[in-house]
Amino acid sequence: MKKQTVKKHDNLINTEQEQIRKIATKNNNIEKINFLKTELEIAANQIQMQDAELETATNRIQVQDAEMEKSAKLSAIGLLSSQIAHDLRSPLAIIESALWLLRQNSLTEEQDDKLQVIGRAVNKMKSEIDRTLSFVRNTPLEIQTCLISNIIQSTLSNINLPKSIKVKTINCDVMIVCDPKKLEIVFTNLFNNAADAMSKSGDLIIEVIEDQNSNIIKVQNSGPTIPKDVLSKLFVPLFTTKQNGTGLGLSSCRNIITQHAGTITASSEPTVFTIEIPKNLASIVEKA
Amino acid sequence: MEKQNILLVDDDADLLKVMSEVITTLGYGAILASNGQEAVLQFEKHIPNLVFMDVKMPILDGFDAFFRIRSKFPNANIIMMTGFADHARWKEVKSACAIYLLEKPWPTEFLSELIRRHVTTKVSC
Ligand SMILES: Nc1ncnc2c1ncn2[C@@H]1O[C@H](COP(=O)(O)OP(=O)(O)O)[C@@H](O)[C@H]1O
Ligand SMILES: [Mg+2]
């Protein structure tokens, strides 16, 4: 009887041990599973990272593609526009000379009026050509000392701003060392853009601030605020929000001002384009 | 006083037409040529006081014609005309005493002043 009990006891112990072993194996398995799970997670993370890298690489390729397309486009525009410029300037010379010949006779008021319209149209075409060419090729600066107000007046007389736009100049009787023809291209672009932005009516304010080392010219216009995403792209070649825009205006402006060893920046609320040109431009150019 | 003659060289017939009318209105005589080769011949024939020479022309372009005239006539007064300045080649002719690079289009008042200043002077090169 006693033996039996012992045996029973032994059996019991055995089953217990068995159970412990089973539990141990189970624990071991759980550990393994946990381990595998972590491994799996790491692998998944790696795949995600590689995915992200792939995406960045794809994006980079897309950006490069877009840039290549743009530079191809730009050089095509360059070739085409210098060709067009040469071909248009001869006929313009013909029209201008013919206008001058007609003006040698006495004219009726009606004839004189129409000739003035033609003259203005010719001027507009000239400045369009200059604008495109100044973008395509940097011709050397022809430096002079002149009154900023004279350059502004000359610009205003060549472009036809709507009468409803009020032009105000503040402190513009300042002498500046610059290439006046090129600065006129800059003003033409800024004024035309301002007129486009204001559509019907508004204020165009041009202010000159004399700094110790530079002249600062601010061109401000009323009108809607420039959205943030547009503001960051203003000077990018070919960027335009206009149906008939070229997107070359402001990038030409920047080319020209950079040639003057200066800067041009834009800010919104209110819309202001700020040009800064060093006063010692002549000596900078001489050294170059 | 004998009339001063100006040789006009351009491949555009209408440009020659209006420019010669402008020049006669201003009181000078106009001689015409429609390419560089004709220009050289006309120059030798008339020895004009001043030349306006387009750059881009068929047969013989303005730069080449310039050098042909210059090699025989070191005193020739030559003004180049262009729609779009090729500054590299302009430097070449400038160093051979071309007077001026006139960019098209020009205000006639400017043309008149340019003629007045250079029609009687003699370059020596
Ligand atoms: N004064 C301004 N007010 C608001 N937006 C402007 C102004 N000037 C320029 N822009 C914006 O910048 C863009 C680029 O201008 P620009 O380079 O001159 O080319 P374009 O006038 O041909 O569009 C315009 O399409 C417009 O969206
Ligand atoms: Mg514009």
Answer whether A227 contacts ligand 1 (Cβ < 6 A).
no
What pLDDT is stored for residue A4 in this prediction? 63
Q: Which domain holds residue A31?
A: 1-137
Could you identify the residue written with the tokens 């050397």?
A140
Lowest mean pLDDT, pick from A49-58, A217-226, B95-104 = A49-58
Band of pLDDT at residue A77, cut at 50, 70 and 90: confident
Residue B122 maps to a domain:
no
Using the predicted structure, report yes or no on whether residue A117 has a pLDDT greater than 90: yes
Question: Does residue A80 share a domain with residue A3?
Answer: yes
Q: How far apart are CA A152 and CA A132, in angstroms?
A: 20
Could you tell me which residues come within 8 angstroms of residue B107 by beta carbon, excluding any fewer than 6 positions away?
A96
Check residues B58 and A62 and name the one with the higher pLDDT.
B58
B11 vs A102, A181, A227, B42, CA distance in Å? 23, 28, 50, 15
And the tokens for A182? 């090129």
Could you identify the residue written with the tokens 């200043």?
B117
- Helix (H) / strand (E) element for B73: namely none
Atom of ligand 1 nearest to the CA of A244: 22
Residue B95 maps to a domain:
yes
Domain boundary (A119, A137, A155) is at A137
Question: Does residue A178 share a domain with residue A43?
Answer: no
Residue B75 maps to a domain:
yes
> Would you say B35 and B18 are in contact if contact means Cβ atoms under 8 Å apart?
no
Question: Does residue A282 share a domain with residue A164?
Answer: yes
Question: Does residue A159 share a domain with residue A124?
Answer: no
Of A89, A94, A104, the CB nearest to B84: A89
What residues of chain A lie within 8 A of the CB of B10, using their CB?
Answer: 90
- List the shell of residues around ion ligand 2, using CB closer than 5 Å: A 193, 249
What pLDDT is stored for residue A156 in this prediction? 93
Band of pLDDT at residue A108, cut at 50, 70 and 90: very high
Check residues B3 and A222 and name the one with the higher pLDDT.
A222
Using the predicted structure, report yes or no on whether residue A211 has a pLDDT greater than 60: yes
What pLDDT is stored for residue A14 in this prediction? 79
Q: Where residue A55 sits, what CATH number does that domain have? A: 1.10.287
Percent above pLDDT 90 for chain A? 48
Q: Which domain holds residue B80?
A: 5-115
B27-73 pLDDT per residue, tens:
999 999 999 999 999 999 999 999 999 998 999 999 999 999 999 99
Domain boundary (A137, A167, A199) is at A137
What pLDDT is stored for residue A68 in this prediction? 66
Question: What domain count does chain A have?
Answer: 2
Domain boundary (A111, A137, A163) is at A137
Q: Where residue B76 sits, what CATH number does that domain have? A: 3.40.50.2300
Residues B6-23 have a mean pLDDT of: 96
Using the predicted structure, report yes or no on whether residue A50 has a pLDDT greater than 70: yes
Q: Where residue A206 sits, what CATH number does that domain have? A: 3.30.565.10
Helices A148-158 and A180-198: crossing angle in degrees, nearest 10, is 60
> Would you say B28 and B115 are in contact if contact means Cβ atoms under 8 Å apart?
yes
Residues A125-133 have a mean pLDDT of: 80
Q: What are phi and psi of A263, to 5 degrees?
A: -130, 150
Band of pLDDT at residue A266, cut at 50, 70 and 90: very high
What pLDDT is stored for residue A18 in this prediction? 83
> What CA dihedral angle connects A9, A10, A13 and A15, to 10 degrees?
-100
Question: What domain count does chain B have?
Answer: 1
Residue B43 maps to a domain:
yes
Using the predicted structure, report yes or no on whether residue A141 has a pLDDT greater than 90: no
Closest CA to B38 of B23, B59, B17: B59
B78-95 pLDDT per residue, tens:
999 988 767 778 888 998
What pLDDT is stored for residue A64 in this prediction? 73
A145-203 pLDDT per residue, tens:
999 999 999 999 888 889 999 999 999 999 999 999 899 989 999 999 999 999 878 99
What pLDDT is stored for residue A287 in this prediction? 61
What pLDDT is stored for residue A59 in this prediction? 84
Question: Does residue A154 share a domain with residue A278?
Answer: yes
Q: How far apart are CA A216 and CA A234, in angstroms?
A: 20
> What CA dihedral angle connects A114, A115, A117 and A122, to 10 degrees?
150
And the tokens for A213? 């080392």
Residue nearest to atom 24 of ligand 1 (CA): A240
Using the predicted structure, report yes or no on whether residue A288 has a pLDDT greater than 60: no
Question: Does residue A203 share a domain with residue A69?
Answer: no
What amino acid occupies position A275?
I
Question: Does residue A163 share a domain with residue A132?
Answer: no
Question: Does residue A60 share a domain with residue A174?
Answer: no
What is the interface size between A and B, counted as CB pairs within 8 Å? 58
Atom of ligand 1 nearest to the CA of A252: 17
Band of pLDDT at residue A66, cut at 50, 70 and 90: confident
What pLDDT is stored for residue B31 in this prediction? 97
- Whether B105 and A98 lie within 8 Å, measured CB to CB: no
Query: Distance of alpha carbon A231 from its chain centroid, rounded?
Result: 8
Band of pLDDT at residue A72, cut at 50, 70 and 90: low
- Helix (H) / strand (E) element for B9: namely strand B5-9
What pLDDT is stored for residue A29 in this prediction? 84
Residue B125 maps to a domain:
no
Mean pLDDT taken over chain A: 87
Q: How far apart are CA A166 and CA A194, in angstroms?
A: 11
Using the predicted structure, report yes or no on whether residue A1 has a pLDDT greater than 60: no
Q: Is A48 exposed, middle or buried (0-12, 13-18, 19+ CB in 10 A)?
A: exposed
Band of pLDDT at residue A74, cut at 50, 70 and 90: low
CA distance B81 to chain A (A): 10
Check residues A183 and A2 and name the one with the higher pLDDT.
A183
What pLDDT is stored for residue B1 in this prediction? 60
Using the predicted structure, report yes or no on whether residue A206 has a pLDDT greater than 90: yes
Question: Does residue A48 share a domain with residue A6?
Answer: yes
Residue B90 maps to a domain:
yes
Using the predicted structure, report yes or no on whether residue A27 has a pLDDT greater than 90: no
Q: What are phi and psi of B106, to 5 degrees?
A: -125, 150
ipTM: 0.91
Question: Does residue A276 share a domain with residue A159?
Answer: yes
- Helix (H) / strand (E) element for B91: namely helix B87-95
Residue B87 maps to a domain:
yes
Residue nearest to atom 27 of ligand 1 (CA): A241
Q: How far apart are CA B79 and CA B111, in angstroms?
A: 11
Question: Does residue A271 share a domain with residue A234?
Answer: yes
Question: Does residue A41 share a domain with residue A129?
Answer: yes
Using the predicted structure, report yes or no on whether residue A63 has a pLDDT greater than 80: no
Residues A20-36 have a mean pLDDT of: 84
